[in-house]
Amino acid sequence: MKYSSGDQLNAMTTLVTSLLRALDEQGVLKHDEVRSVVKDAADMCGRSAEGIGSKFYLEEMFLNKMGD
């Protein structure tokens, strides 16, 4: 089965946000630390992934999935 880059991005976003949400709920990371990780990840993705979207779009997508 072949996946588009959008499908791959959505799957990775879901995985990462689930992990970050669990860390936040367990108290491993404070909520502001989670936000910082999300912003850094979105910045890295925005610089390295052509055609997937800007870092602002990725950051918004992560934070929306986090329920922020």
Dihedral in degrees, nearest 10, Cα atoms 29, 33, 57, 9: -30
Q: What is the pTM of this model?
A: 0.46
* pLDDT confidence tier of residue 64, bands split at 50, 70 and 90: confident
Q: What is the pLDDT of residues 11-20, one digit of tens each?
A: 777 777 777 7
- Reference 64, options 40, 37, 35, 41; nearest CA is 35
